[in-house]
Amino acid sequence: MNNHQHQGKHVFVAGGSSGINLGIAKAFVLAGAHVAIASRSADRVAAAVSELMSVASEGVRVLGFSADVRDAEAIGKALADAHAVLGDIDVLVSGAAGNFVAPALGMSPNGFATVVDIDLKGTFNVMRQAHVYLRKPGASLISISASQSYTPTKYQAHVCAAKAGVDMLTRVLALEWGEQGIRINSIVPGPIGDTEGIRRLAPTPEAMQRMNDTVPLKRLGKLTDVSDMALFLCSAQASYVTGAVIPVDGGISLVGGRDLSAGLVGR
Ligand code: HXC
Ligand code: NAP
């Protein structure tokens, strides 16, 4: 696939200061797109902007905003500010998320709500607030889901519920916004190595080995496994793909009964 086609595009990545989302931001910068990222911590945003600038070609713009996706007004302002500098948004990624490993009975109502607020309501806020700034026709939106969306997983009641909601939101928005030439798809990553998500689910070497062994392809994913799919979904080659929920997971969504008990630490 020709990644030069992304040159000069305007990309906004919510939750783009680390891990998988930063990997996607980096892939677009490397392809010559102008990229804005937003997350809560101004320090982490600044560090990520420096990292992205260090790989950017001359003329590529990288912007950073501090905003919490649970605050619709704040994320709306970040989108407005990015739009004021870059212009219409071609690519929008909603990837902010939170997770901890706990049984349902070990979750307070606020603990459950916090993850739903970040993952599901945050995705609604990002996409709803971005709509006015999207290129129409042509924008490509991506929700970052997780295999918990369709594999019921012990100690992940909040994430399973939230990500299932995210994938249904993807489908509904694809229906509602299709006639404006906006495409929306979900990427469903499996366990991706060297990320905060996997560190929380498999905090010991033994748990990491077990996770590795559970994946049918017998390896953890790489950041580029996910960013390659993001580049594809936003490419001309995917111009007839919308409302799709696409695993990039080494096949782990085919396997039930994962044991995450090693993640039950400190509570
Ligand atoms: C039980 C917990 C808990 C735990 C927090 N809570 N950790 N409950 N067990 N281990 C409860 C708190 O007690 C509180 O409820 C409520 O959750 C909110 O906690 P806060 O710390 O006040 O929330 P906040 O500061 O908003 O932080 C949100 C967070 C935090 C989700 C709790 O961990 C965070 O900011 N995470 C972002 C980074 C992250 O999680 N990255 C991984 C994404 S991976 P009470 O009732 O006490 O007020 C992912 C899927 C991965 O999403 C899939 C991999 C395969
Ligand atoms: P990560 O490094 O913790 O990334 C989460 C990002 O979201 C950070 O930039 C964080 O920055 C930001 N964020 C968190 N809460 C936010 C909020 N309320 N408002 C705005 N930004 C917020 O985690 P990751 O493991 O790479 O996961 C990234 C995405 O991939 C998530 O959607 C996750 O569910 C999904 N996923 C991950 C895996 C995996 O193996 N890691 C597997 C499946 C799915 P701040 O802290 O500065 O806000």
List CB contacts of 256: < 8 A, sequence separation 6 or more: 151, 152
The ranges assigned to domains in the chain are 3-247
pLDDT tens, position by position, 129-141: 999 999 999 999 9
Rounded to two decimals, the pTM is 0.98
Is the confidence at residue 256, as pLDDT, over 90?
A: no
Which atom of ligand 1 is least distant from the CA of 102? Answer: 9
Decide which of 3.40.50.1370, 3.40.50.720, 3.40.50.1110, 1.50.10.10 is the CATH code for 3-247: 3.40.50.720
Q: From ligand 1's centre to the CA of 158, what distance in Å?
A: 10
Predicted pLDDT of residue 227: 98
- In this predicted structure, what is the pLDDT of residue 261? 86
Amino acid present at 145: S
Q: How far is the CA of 98 from the centre of ligand 1 (A)?
A: 6
Amino acid at 266: G
Residues with CB under 6 A from ligand 1: 97-100, 102, 106-108, 110-111, 114-115, 146, 159, 191, 196-198, 200-201, 267
Q: Which of 24, 26, 39 to mutate to test the pocket of ligand 2 (most atoms within 8 A of CB)?
A: 39
Residue-wise pLDDT tens digits, 196-211: 999 999 999 999 999 9
Query: Counting every residue, how long is the chain?
Result: 267
Share of the chain above pLDDT 90, in %: 94
pLDDT tens track for 122-176: 999 999 999 999 999 999 999 999 999 989 999 999 999 999 999 999 999 999 9
